Amino acid sequence: MVNSKVADGEDYSDLLVKYKEKIRKEFGETGVSSDGAGAKPISSREYTEFKSEIYPNQYSMYEKACNMAESVFKLKVENKQKEKLQKRIDTCHLNITPSGVVALSFLAPMIFIIVGSLIAFAIFNMVFLVFFCIFFGLAMILALQKIPSLLADKWRIQASNQMVQSIFYLVTYMRHTSNLERAIAFAADHLDAPLSLDFRKMLWDLENGTYSSIRDSADSYLETWKEWNSDFVESFHLVESSLFEPSEDRRISLLDKSLDVILDGTFEGMLRYAHNLKAPMTMLNMLGIILPILGLVILPLVVSFMSGPDSSTLTMAIYISLLYNITLPIGVYYLGKTILSKRPSGYGQADIVKSHPGLKKYENVIIPIGKKFQFAVNPLYFSITLFAFLFIIGMSPILLHAVDPGFEIQNEEGSIQMMGYICPPNTGSCENNELIGPYGLGASLLSLVVILSFGLSIGMFYSLRSKNVIAIRNRTKKLEQEFSSAMFQLGNRLGDGLPAEIAFARVAETMRGSTSGDFFNLAEKNITKLGMGLEESLFDPKVGAVASFPSKVIESSMKVLIESIKRGPLIAAQALLSMSRYMKEIHRVEERLKDLMAEVIGSMKAQVAFLTPAIAGIVVGITSMISTVLTKLSAQLSTFAGSGDTTGFGGLVTIFGIGIPTFHFQVIVGLYIVQLAYILTVLATGIENGVDKQGERFALGKALVRSVGLYCFIAGTVIILFNLFAGVVLQNTLG
C-alpha cells in the first residue's frame, strides 16, 4: 500500500514538472516562481494587442534599443535612480527595465564617440571635430537617461488634456446608470490614447484577477496621478462615492461636484502656469534667439581676424554650423521641452484621424477624377519634388564651379559677379581648381533659394497633410460649440413626452441653417426616407449622422441618448439637459484658459512670424556687406604686398583673413531660422493645446512658409542694397 502511494506520488511529481515546464515555455523563465520572487506581471492578450495598435512606433524602437543594450551591458542601477526610472517607465507603459535605460545611455554615446572621432580625423582631419564628438557624446549620456522622463512627461501631458473629458464621460454615464465598471468602459471607448489605454488597463486588471474590484483597480491607478493632478484624483473619488449614496439627489449632487472640482482645478493650474511662464520664456528668447542672432553681426569680423590669411573658409563655416545648426537648436529644444513638461492639465484637441480611421485618406492630396472617383496622392511626393528643384538651383554656384572651375557671369565692369570665386590671399595667381568662394552677389542671392527649398518643401508637406483634416475638425468643432444649445432643445422636446424621432425633426426645423440643424436633419432624413431606426440613423458607418460629423463628444452624447431612451423619455431628457450644462461649463473654462495663454502664445507667434526672420534677414545683409568689404580690402592689401609697396600695410596683410563667403554664412543662418521656426511653433502649439499633432502640423505649414519667405525677402533686399552701397564706397576709396 505504501509503495503504491509512493508510486502515485512520483506520478504526480512528474505531472507537476511537466506542466511547470510548459508554463515556463509560454511565460518565460521568470514568469512563475514558487516564492513569487522575480515574477513578471502577466497582462492579457487583448491588452497587449490594443497597446500594439495605439502605441507610437518610436516607443517600440526605443524599447528594442534598450533591451539590446541590456543584453550587451549588465549594469547595476542604484536603488534611488532605479525607483525613479521605474516610475517613469510604468507611467508610459514601456517594456524595458532601468538597467536597459542606463546601458543604452552608455553604449550609444560610446559608439558615437568612436565612429564620429574616426570620421572627423580620418576624413576631415579636424581635431576640433574630434573634441566636439567627445563632448557631444558625453552630453548624450545624461540626455539618454532622461528619455523615460521625457516620454512620461509627454504621456502625462497628453493624458492630462483628456482628464476633463474623462470625468465628463464618467459623470454623464453615471447619471443614468450607477455602475462604475460600465462607466469606465464607456469612457475608455470615447477617449483617445493614451488615457483610453489607462482606462482599459483598469478593466483588464480586474478581468485578470489582479484586483478583486473595479474600485481597487481604479484606486491603484489613481496613485500614479497624486503627484501630478490631485484634482483629477479628487474628482474620480467623488464619482466613486456616488455609488454609496442612498439618495438620488445626493448622488447626482456628488457627480456634479466632481466635474466642478476638475474644471476649477484645471483653471487654477493653468493660471499659475501662465504666471510662471514669463521668466523661462524670456530666458528662452534671449539665450536661444536674440543673443545668437545679434552675435551674427560681429561674427564675420571675428572670423576674419581669427582665421588668418591662410585659413580655410570652409573650416570656419563648419565651426559656425556646429554652433548654430546643432548646439543652439538642441539647447533651444531642450529649454522648450523643460518649459512644456511643467504644463498642468488643461484642454486639448482630439486627433480625429486616430479616432476615425476613415479620415486618414484626407491627410493626402485629393485629386477628383470625374464626379464619383477621387485619387489620393501623398504630399511627400510634391514636397520632395519642390525641394530637389529649388535645392539644385540654390546650389548651382557650387555645382557649376565643380563642373567648370572657370565659369563666371559678370557685368562689363566686373563689379557684380554671379560666382565670385577668388584666389586665396598671398598667392598672387592660382589655378581655377584652387579658387575659393563663392563671394559673388549672384551666389549670395542664390543661397537664399537653398533656404527656400527647406522652408517651402517642409511647410508645404505639413500644410497639405493637415489642410483637409483641419477643415473637417473645424466644422466638427463648430458643431460642438452649438451642440449644447441643441442638446438643451432636444432635452426639452423629450421632456414634453415626444418620441425621439419626432423630437429630432422639431430640433432640425428650429435650428435650420446651422451645423447642428444639419446634423439632426440628416438623422431625421435617415429615419423618414431610409426607414432606419433611431440608433441606425445616428451610427450607420456610411450614412449615419455621427459618421458625417466625427466628434467623440457628439458620438458619446448620442450613445447616452440611446442608452437613456430605453429607460423612458423623461430619463433621456434629464440626461441631455445635464450634458448640455456640462458642455457649456467645459466650453466656458476653455475660453478662460485661452485668455490666460493669449499673451504668451501671441508673443511666440509674433517671434516666429516677424521678429526673428526680420532681424536675421537684416543681419545677413549687413554680414554680406562686411564680407564684401573685407574680401576686397584683403585682396587689395595682398596686391600691395605683392608689389613690394608695404608702407603702412605690411602689418595689416598678416592680420586680415579672407572672410567667410556670404553663400556659406547665409545658408547656416537660414537653416537656423528654419530650425527656430519649427521649434518655436511646436512649443507654442504644445503650450496652447498640449499634444495636438494635427494642429501642430497645420501651424508648422503656415509658420515655415511665412517666416522663411519673409526672411528670404528681407535678406535678399538688404544684401542687394548693402552690396551696392559697399561697392560704391570701395570704388571711391580704393579706386
Report whether the peptide linkage leading into residue 405 is cis, meaning its omega lies within 30 degrees of zero. Answer: no
Reported pTM: 0.76
CA distance 337 to 653: 48
| Burial of 732 (C-beta count, 10 Å sphere; 0-12/13-18/19+) | exposed
Whole-number pLDDT of residue 309: 46
CA distance 486 to 553: 13
Backbone torsion region of residue 45, taken as left when φ is above 0, otherwise alpha when ψ lies between -120 and 50, otherwise beta = alpha
Strand, helix or coil for residue 376: strand
Whole-number pLDDT of residue 710: 93
- Where the chain has pLDDT below 50, the residues are 1-10, 27-44, 308-310, 646-647, 649-650, 653
**DSSP single-letter state for residue 363:** G
Distances (CA, A) of 462 to 329, 388, 700: 20, 17, 6
**DSSP single-letter state for residue 36:** -
For 277-305, write each residue's pLDDT tens digit: 878 888 888 877 888 877 877 776 666 66
Cell of 626: 562686411
Q: Is the dihedral of CA 20, 23, 29, 30 positive or negative?
A: negative
Whole-number pLDDT of residue 223: 85
